[in-house]
Amino acid sequence: MAASLFIVATPIGNLEDLTFRAVRVLGEVAVVACEDTRHTRVLLDHYGISSLLVSYHEHNEAKRTQELLGRLEAGQSVALVSDAGTPLISDPGYRLVSAAVEAGITVVPVPGVSAAVTALSASGLPTDAFCFAGFFPSKQTQRLRLLKQHEGAAATLIFYEAPHRILETLDDIERVLGDRRVVIARELSKIHEEFLRGTPGELRTILAARDVIRGEMTVLIAKAEHPPVNTTPVAEAVGELMGQGMGRMEAIKAVARSRGMSKRDVYRAVEES
Ligand code: SAM
């Protein structure tokens, strides 16, 4: 049978959150590529798995990708894991998976935990649509810009954040998005698992009162109750699109669609301007 690259999700805290299938696959492959061999050895030892481990992290991704592709092309199956959760989700692996796809190698996901979806499922925020945006940037200007970009999104927003930056980030959320409902999911699946729910200001007060703010955190923000109203006059919006190279009728159609107006009304507004 041709070799496959398995993308195996591992626990984000509780070692019981590893699937039976993941245990089997991790035991059957020729090699397990992981971020930190000592960290993953603890998990494999827990399950009595003695597979060969090789490191694969952001500093050796390019070199290791070639080595692992070589193994796969020679018929050896490889599993990729990260320190926690689903590989590639704010974790290394994209380079390897895209190279494997390019090389025609079968890539098999072995699903399991990811902090983003785990947090969403118990957050109490709407789950019909969500937007996972990875880690908040560490620089405030970039953080504010990112929040502004997502201001009108019709979806629950999900971010990863480090505990030492959470107070500043809550201030920025309040500054850009106001009194939205926010949920902080902390230490998911661990002994001190906690969900904090409130406005950014309320959560700031709760956390600032603690001696230390620690633990892994996923931050969820409710979508806007009333998406921001587009205040650009209709004719101007059509003009802007035409300025970007769109034909007149095409621009009228696009503006009508985005504003829920009839084409005739947009056309009339353009004619009267
Ligand atoms: N690949 C992982 C996944 O699928 O969730 C995420 C890896 S990313 C490097 C680590 C970040 O995920 C943490 O800084 C935190 O924001 C979030 N995270 C990981 N484990 C968590 C947990 N047990 N509780 C809450 N958030 C967690």
Instruction: Report the sign of the C-alpha dihedral through residues 13, 17, 23, 26, in that order.
Output: negative
**Which residues, other chains included, contact 6 with Cβ-Cβ below 8 Å and sequence gap of 6+?**
25, 29, 77, 78, 79, 80, 108, 109, 110
Distance between Cα 144 and ligand 1 center (Å) = 22
With both helix axes pointing from N to C terminus, report the angle between 263-272 and 234-243 in degrees, rounded to the nearest 10: 90
pLDDT at 10 over 70: yes
Full DSSP string of 80-92: E--SSBSTTSSSS
Same domain for 121 and 109: no
Same domain for 136 and 183: yes
pLDDT at 180 over 60: yes
Give me the pLDDT at residue 56, please.
97
Asked whether residue 241 is domain-assigned, the answer is yes
Residue at which a domain ends, from 72, 89, 113? 113
Give me the pLDDT at residue 1, please.
58
Q: Residue 210's pLDDT band (boundaries 50, 70, 90)?
A: very high
Distance between Cα 188 and ligand 1 center (Å) = 9
Q: What pLDDT, in 10s, does the model give residues 38-74?
A: 999 999 999 999 999 999 999 999 999 999 999 999 9
Report the alpha-carbon distance of residue 163 to residue 76 in Å, rounded.
40
Tokens 């201030």 belong to residue:
171
Give me the pLDDT at residue 155, please.
97
Distance between Cα 114 and ligand 1 center (Å) = 7
Asked whether residue 143 is domain-assigned, the answer is yes
Tokens 């591992």 belong to residue:
10
Asked whether residue 101 is domain-assigned, the answer is yes
Domain range for 206 is 116-221
* C-beta of 82 in contact with ligand 1 (< 6 A): yes
Residue nearest to atom 23 of ligand 1 (CA): 188
Alpha carbon 125 to its chain centroid, in Å, reads 17
Same domain for 59 and 78: yes
Same domain for 181 and 170: yes
> Mean pLDDT across the stretch 199-228?
91
Asked whether residue 228 is domain-assigned, the answer is no
pLDDT at 36 over 70: yes
Rg of the chain, C-alpha, whole Å = 24
In this structure, are residues 156 and 232 in contact, taking their beta carbons and an 8 Å threshold? no
Same domain for 181 and 92: no
* C-beta of 96 in contact with ligand 1 (< 6 A): no
Give me the pLDDT at residue 254, please.
77
Same domain for 251 and 206: no
Residue at which a domain ends, from 64, 83, 113? 113
CA angle 20/122/12 to nearest 5° reads 45
Asked whether residue 108 is domain-assigned, the answer is yes
Tell me the CATH number at 73. Answer: 3.40.1010.10
Residue 63, amino acid: K
What's the N-to-C CA distance of the chain in angstroms? Answer: 68
pLDDT at 185 over 70: yes
CA angle 96/99/100 to nearest 5° reads 85
Q: How many domains does the chain have?
A: 3
Same domain for 244 and 183: no
Asked whether residue 226 is domain-assigned, the answer is no
Asked whether residue 50 is domain-assigned, the answer is yes
Asked whether residue 30 is domain-assigned, the answer is yes
Residue at which a domain ends, from 113, 148, 163? 113
* C-beta of 118 in contact with ligand 1 (< 6 A): no
Which candidate, 65, 181, 188, 203, places its Cα nearest to that of 126? 181
Residue 19, amino acid: T
Same domain for 109 and 50: yes
Same domain for 127 and 77: no
In this structure, are residues 6 and 29 in contact, taking their beta carbons and an 8 Å threshold? yes
Tokens 């945006």 belong to residue:
133
Tell me the CATH number at 174. Answer: 3.30.950.10
Report the alpha-carbon distance of residue 53 to residue 174 in Å, rounded.
44
> Mean pLDDT across the stretch 1-30?
96
- pTM for the full model? 0.84
Which tokens go with 231?
Answer: 């205040």
Q: What pLDDT, in 10s, does the model give residues 93-111?
A: 999 999 999 999 999 999 9
Q: What pLDDT, in 10s, does the model give residues 159-171?
A: 999 999 999 999 9
User: DSSP character for 59?
Assistant: T
Same domain for 62 and 35: yes
The pLDDT mean for the chain works out to 94
Report the alpha-carbon distance of residue 29 to residue 44 in Å, rounded.
13
Same domain for 121 and 107: no
Same domain for 130 and 147: yes
Mutate-to-test residue for ligand 1 from 90, 123, 135, 138, highest number of ligand atoms within 8 A of CB: 90
Tokens 């030492």 belong to residue:
164
pLDDT at 261 over 80: no
Give me the pLDDT at residue 160, please.
98
Which tokens go with 97?
Answer: 């998976």
Q: Within 13 Å and on the Cβ side, how many CA atoms surround 190?
A: 16
